[in-house]
Each structure stands twice: as C-alpha cells, then as structure tokens.
Amino acid sequence: MKKLLSILGVLLLGCDPFVTEFEDLSNALMYEADSKSNETYDSGNVKVVTWNIRFGIARFPFFGDSCGDDVILDDDTIEKNMAAIADSLNAIDADIVLLQEVDVSSKRTGYMDQVQYLLDNTNLNYGCYASMWKADYIASDGIGRIDAGNAILSKYELTDAERIQLRLRTDQDGLTQYFYLRRNIVKAKIPALTQGAKDFYAVDIHATAFATDDTKQQHIDKYVETLAEIQSSGNYFVTGGDLNSVPPGSEFDYCLLDMCPDEKYEDENGNEIDYHSIDSLTSGPHKEGAYFNNFDGERDILLPLYEAYDAAIDSVDANLPIHLTHGPSTSYEMNDIKYDRKLDYLFTNGIWENTLSKTHQAAWELSDHLPVSAVLNVGGE
C-alpha cells in the first residue's frame, strides 16, 4: 500500500500546473545571501532604491518591449550585465532595494536566478520574490520556460512576505490571458527597522504596462488600498516600483515616438491601420504601452499617492528631464533618446530627505528603466 501511495505521489507531482496561477494572497519566496555581510541597524536614515532591471538584458533589442526582434541573450552578456547592476547597487549602497522584472528561472536569461545572484554579489543579505510570469513553456517567439517577477532585497531580515495578486487584464482573449503575466505587489516586514510600536514594511509593485482597459486603474487602486492598510494600522512603509504611469501634468502620448519603422496598428480582425497622427491625440488607435490616456482619469492616476504620501521626487519636479526614468531600449538607436518619461516612483508615509532623492540616469545603459533612490528620515514626522 505504501508503495502504491508513493507511486501515486510521484505521478501527482508530475501534474504541477503548466502555467502557475496565484491566489489573491500568497506567500512570497524567501531568499538569503550565501554569505551575509554583518549589517545590523542601530539608528540613522534608511536608503531605498527602486529599479526595473529588465531581467538583466540591459539595452538588448528584445522583441517584447521595444522595436527589437531578439529573444534570448547569451549567458556571458547576461552575467556581465548583472555584474554591472550589482556594482551599481553596491555604489548606491541602499538598505532596501525594490526590483521589478527579475528573472529567476527563464530560458531567455540562461536560467540565472537573478535574485540569488544579486544577494551574493551585493551588500544585501535577504530577499523575497513574487512571480508575475511563471510557465513551463511559452510557445510563442521562442520564449520557452519563464519565471519572472518582483523582488525586495534588504540588508536586514525580511519577514511576513506576501504576494498580493493584481487583477488580470480584461482586454485579452482567454488563451492569451492564460499564458500572460500575473502582476503583483510584494510586501514584507523588516523587523530591524521597527520604530517603537510601529512596524516597518517595504512594498514593491509593477503595474500593467500594455493594458488598454481599466486594468491600470485597478492596479493603482489595489496599491493605494494596500498602503492605506499599513497606514491605518499605524505602521511605516517605504514603497515604490514601476507604476507604468506618468506623473500628473506629464506628456501622455508617446505613440509616434515609440512606433517602430513601418509599424501599423492591428485590429481584432487582423486589419492593419496607421496609428493616429500627432495632431489627433485622442482619436487613436494608440500603441499599447505608449499612451497614458486610455480612460478617464488616467493622466491623474497617481494623484492619490502624491496627495497622501511623501514622494521621493515631488510632483512639481517629477517631469523635469533629470527625473525621467524610462525610454524603450531601441529609442536611443532610433531617435537618440535615452529616457523621455517618468514611470518609476518611491513613496513613504514617513519623510524623505528630499535633497538626497536621486534618479540615477548614468545607469541608462543597464536597463530601459533607471533606478530612483531616496533616503528615509527615520523617526522624522
């Protein structure tokens, strides 16, 4: 009987889902550096950075998010890029790092566990990870096996790490949705930074980029709700990520800038149509991910965050050229543009040392997003 149960057990293990779906709330995957640096927090400010590292492919012309048509980067270049990202993080010397687009077991990046790599090659000791795209095989464009997501890295121990599911896109057919991304918020407690009776949380998000329905609004609403819960419980947080939203008052139409040579919009019937002309901004059709006015209120979607919390880069400065954080990877080659919009943010319900907030634009060659760092005035009101 035991043998039979063992055989059945093995067979059932062979039935792991082909595409991993997630509960609304689940545990994040915990990591530790192979060799931890001796970091203990006693007092003083806490430095935080957010960075969408584009799974370590730097400015590689990847087919999915630029005008490139390549899919799989070679292992040596991945290793070199990740080493450069680790060097940058060491130079910034943050206590808490919020990462988006991190691969942990993907064909496209040689199955490197990038969370573990960064922990082992920086002064960060602890990590937690939440998949946004996990499948045995994506049978499209040679993507193959994929496991990519968000991660929080920290010098100090992380506990109570949660993966909070964000709503799926509704502007896709069922088959596409099944194989598509499942975006999330990852949240963790950092006991070493507890201030009196107030717990300290780090919250990391990567909101939808390409949805043309109200998914982005749903994602930001869930994010605001998650932060409000921490706030109303009387606790502290630092938070940030790639919100894929422009600041209030920003340009909102990048369709023609992001358009690839001879690219056409393809409607649901497969007909090819020109994108809108520059003087007909609202009429469409618009390029997915390049237009930030898909629904009423999208241009001001971040106002609740700016109004409720302290922004590392305040809304007045957010559209200044020195604070732009994103440019598609091929935009430099095509239009001599390194970065042309701000999509990456840091907020806290504490207080930033505003003069120390920085967008690290020198790192533009390491991703299509730039790191943003800020220093939390711990104990400041």
Partner 1 sequence: MKKIIFCFIIASLVFGETKKWDAHSAYLLPQKRWEMGLFQPFRYGYSETIEYSVHPLWFFVMPNFSLKKSQSDFAGFTSASQYKIVYPTPFLNMIAKEGIMGIIAPDFQMPPMLGLSASWLMSKNMSGVDLTLKGGLDLGFAFGDLDTRSTIDLPLVYHRLGVYYNNWGFHTGLDVQKNISEKIGVLVDADLRLLPGLNGNYSLEHKLLLSWHKSENFRVLTGYKFVMGEYPYGSDMRLLPYIPIFETWVPMIEFQWARKKQ
Chosen residue from 9, 44, 64, 142 binding partner 1 by CB under 8 A:
142
Chosen residue from 27, 140, 170, 335 binding partner 1 by CB under 8 A:
140
Sheet with strand 344-348: strands edge to edge: 25-27, 159-165, 184-189, 200-206, 236-242, 344-348, 310-311
Q: Which residues in 94-113 contact partner 1 (CB under 8 A)?
A: 105, 107, 110-111
Q: How far is CA 246 from the centre of its chain?
A: 15
Angstrom distances, CA of residue 255 to CA of 84, 279, 292: 31, 12, 10
User: How many whole angstroms separate alpha carbon 156 and alpha carbon 259?
Assistant: 43
C-alpha dihedral sign at 216, 220, 225, 226: positive
Q: Which is nearer to partner 1, 68 or 327 (CB)?
A: 68
Least distance (Å) from partner 1 to the CB of residue 337? Answer: 25
Q: Which residues in 15-34 contact partner 1 (CB under 8 A)?
A: 15-19
Q: Which is nearer to partner 1, 140 or 277 (CB)?
A: 140
Chosen residue from 27, 37, 44, 74 binding partner 1 by CB under 8 A:
74
The answer to whether residue 141 forms part of the interface with partner 1 (CB under 8 A) is: yes
The answer to whether residue 11 forms part of the interface with partner 1 (CB under 8 A) is: yes
Chosen residue from 39, 84, 87, 145 binding partner 1 by CB under 8 A:
145
The answer to whether residue 72 forms part of the interface with partner 1 (CB under 8 A) is: yes
Least distance (Å) from partner 1 to the CB of residue 193? Answer: 35
- Asked if 115 contacts 153 with a C-beta cutoff of 8 angstroms, the reply is yes
User: How many whole angstroms separate alpha carbon 243 and alpha carbon 215?
Assistant: 12
Sheet with strand 96-103: strands edge to edge: 29-32, 126-138, 144-154, 96-103, 46-52, 372-376, 358-359
Q: How many residues does the chain have?
A: 381
The answer to whether residue 265 forms part of the interface with partner 1 (CB under 8 A) is: no
User: How many whole angstroms separate alpha carbon 316 and alpha carbon 241?
Assistant: 19
Q: Which residues in 173-212 contact partner 1 (CB under 8 A)?
A: 175, 178
The answer to whether residue 70 forms part of the interface with partner 1 (CB under 8 A) is: yes
Phi/psi for 195 (5° steps) reads -110, 100
The answer to whether residue 137 forms part of the interface with partner 1 (CB under 8 A) is: yes
Least distance (Å) from partner 1 to the CB of residue 109? Answer: 10
Binding interface with partner 1 (CB under 8 A) = 10-11, 13-19, 63, 69-72, 74, 105, 107, 110-111, 136-137, 139-145, 175, 178
